[in-house]
Structure 1
Amino acid sequence: MSRYEIALSFAGEDRTYVEMVARFLQSHGVSFFYDDYNDVNLWGKDLYAHLVGVYSKAERYVIMFISRHYAEKVWTNHERRAAQSRALTEKGEYILPVRSYLDARRISPEVLASKVLEKLGRPIILSKANALPPPHSPALCGDVAFDYSSHDGRFEFGHGDLAFESRWTRASNRSIYCYNDAPSIRGVAVAPVGADFKALGDVSTLDFTSRTRCPAVGQFVVLQNTKGFFALLRIESIGDMTRGD
């Protein structure tokens, strides 16, 4: 029998939504298969054979996030066929399609995940509000804006090995504290004042030894995660709606 209660089957284009579902399920102790959380386990395996086992032997359900992209992909069709081979022998439900019953375009990932908990017969234990998963952006480049006055100042970006959990609090109108408190963050550093992107060079030589740094507007802050990857962030502006900024 599989060690997963649930297996998530989806196309890569739908990962942003599915990852938020996965994070909610993880916070409620559900054992599930989600590729980004199992990358080391998958390394070196015969994926064709291994995924047949994952999607045909889940303890309870396979959740299919059906979309146009899902129908076009070789691997998702392989996962679907594996799940269907099991469903044909099941007396109860095994495949839970999202688009045909619960439309992911109309409900939040958290609501969908709570429906999954109901199917599992699990009580939905409300966490402290500040322990809820923070906002997340899968983007690895470009501009992002977030409200550091909520979720204890936490904001996540990236995905997989390139995921970074950041935490911030206001210092002044022109500067902000950045912390290395998150378990996935090894350290935080700031580039010298006035340094531009091309002049930064090897960011691993910066000082990551303090728990917190205080970059100013226009300054670069660098995060290193526990996978050894770096994120370079430039503080463009700081505002606080609760103070009328």
Structure 2
Amino acid sequence: MQVKYDIALFFAGEDRAYVEMVAEQLKARGISVFYDFYEEENLWGKDLYVHLTDLYRKQAKFTLMFISKNYANKLWTNLERKAAQSRAFEESSEYILPARFDDTEIPGVLSTTGFIDLRKKSPVEVAVMVGKKLGVNPFEVKSHSVPPPKNELLIGRAKFDYSNNNGLFRIGSGAFEFSSRWSKASNTSIHCYTDTPNIRGVALAPKDSELENLDSVSIFDYTSRVRKPEIGRYVILQNTNGIYAALKIISIKDDSRGDEYDELVFDYWIQKSGSDSFVEYASRA
């Protein structure tokens, strides 16, 4: 049987935060993984009952079942489980790999089946174990290819060491994600790049601008690969979905200029409506 994925993940939505970290660690290790958020465009318009049944029966080498009290009560998780159990029964194989958040009993999953206790395992450890199950050596992956830090909120604050993770920090998610990239300039300014796949352009707002002045950011100049905002300045990003984000540089530390470490702090606002105006956010800043 020819398969598309090394492993497929099925879980309850309430457990998504943990599962997504596992998915990202698997992806970083070169393991092909079915995780629904990675397949939103592909799933759009399909008969999910037919498609997911076929996927869990035929298109993965293994399935990773994240068991919890939430999982036990879901209609779709029961569909996925039955499809996977049908495959396991037909092949008499260890196709289903159970991983438990708690001790909830799941029909068809015997108490004698070996499982991972997620109360004692981090997402990284789970990904490493999956890799070993697949015969993939996780240490063949370069250290710099692990997923960079991320804040999925549409409005928030980023605080990170820009000398790590190739200077990457992700904000937002899905169509509203921005993979920002930064590098050292000084302790009063920093370089911001368009080098990541989902950033279309970077621009600087005029000096002394505030959110109430950012009412038409599309007119700014996005023609340079790199910009150098200073503390207090707004940098505007546009992603490849045409969405804008406004980032205000709050503080910069530079270990070559007397600071103990490199650190960038910025506040950000992602315009979910697709507008190029941030005036509405001024009262919330």
TM-score by length of 2: 0.77
TM-score by length of 1: 0.88
How far apart are 1:144 and its partner, in Å? 2.5
Give the Cα–Cα distance (whole angstroms) in 2 for the partners of residues 43 and 64 of structure 1.
23
Question: Match of 1:218?
Answer: 232
Structure of higher CA gyration radius: 2
**Could you tell which deviates more after superposition, 84-93 or 40-49?**
84-93
Give the Cα–Cα distance (whole angstroms) in 2 for the partners of residues 241 and 112 of structure 1.
35
Give the Cα–Cα distance (whole angstroms) in 2 for the partners of residues 191 and 76 of structure 1.
47
| Contact in 2 for aligned 1:2/1:54 (Cα 8 Å) | no
Question: Match of 1:155?
Answer: 169
Question: Match of 2:243?
Answer: 229
Question: Match of 2:128?
Answer: 114
| Contact in 1 for aligned 2:151/2:171 (Cα 8 Å) | yes
How far apart are 1:36 and its partner, in Å? 1.8
Question: Match of 1:204?
Answer: 218
Q: Secondary structure at the match of 2:200?
A: strand
Give the Cα–Cα distance (whole angstroms) in 1 for the partners of residues 245 and 180 of structure 2.
10
How far apart are 1:62 and its partner, in Å? 1.0
CA separation of 1:78 and 1:132: change in aligned 2, threshold 3 A? same
**Could you tell which deviates more after superposition, 25-34 or 108-117?**
25-34
| Contact in 2 for aligned 1:188/1:211 (Cα 8 Å) | yes
RMSD over aligned Cα atoms = 2.3
Equivalent residue letter for 1:208: Y
Cα deviations by residue, 1:34-83 (Å, 9 ceiling, x for unpaired)? 11221221111111221111122233211122334433433333322322
**Could you tell which deviates more after superposition, 51-60 or 33-42?**
51-60
| Contact in 2 for aligned 1:186/1:224 (Cα 8 Å) | yes
Matched positions, count: 245
Q: Secondary structure at the match of 1:236?
A: strand
| Contact in 2 for aligned 1:16/1:138 (Cα 8 Å) | no
Out of 151, 154, 157, the position equivalent to 1:143 is: 157
Q: State percent identity of aligned pairs.
A: 51
Q: Which runs of 4+ in 1 moved over 6 A?
A: none
**Could you tell which deviates more after superposition, 37-46 or 25-34?**
25-34
| Contact in 2 for aligned 1:149/1:240 (Cα 8 Å) | no
Give the Cα–Cα distance (whole angstroms) in 1 for the partners of residues 140 and 15 of structure 2.
27
Cα deviations by residue, 1:189-217 (Å, 9 ceiling, x for unpaired)? 12222222232113222221111111122
Give the Cα–Cα distance (whole angstroms) in 2 for the partners of residues 240 and 11 of structure 1.
43
Question: Match of 2:277?
Answer: none
Cα deviations by residue, 1:73-118 (Å, 9 ceiling, x for unpaired)? 3333332232233233331211112226323343332221111111
Question: Match of 1:37?
Answer: 38
Give the Cα–Cα distance (whole angstroms) in 1 for the partners of residues 216 and 73 of structure 2.
41
| Contact in 1 for aligned 2:28/2:145 (Cα 8 Å) | no
| Contact in 1 for aligned 2:88/2:95 (Cα 8 Å) | yes
Equivalent residue letter for 2:120: R
Equivalent residue letter for 1:81: K
CA separation of 1:189 and 1:66: change in aligned 2, threshold 3 A? farther
How far apart are 1:233 and its partner, in Å? 1.7
Question: Match of 1:130?
Answer: 144
Give the Cα–Cα distance (whole angstroms) in 2 for the partners of residues 12 and 164 of structure 1.
23
CA separation of 1:178 and 1:85: change in aligned 2, threshold 3 A? same
Equivalent residue letter for 2:31: V
How far apart are 1:241 and its partner, in Å? 6.3
CA separation of 1:119 and 1:127: change in aligned 2, threshold 3 A? closer
How far apart are 1:125 and its partner, in Å? 4.1
Q: Secondary structure at the match of 2:132?
A: helix
Give the Cα–Cα distance (whole angstroms) in 1 for the partners of residues 234 and 117 of structure 2.
41
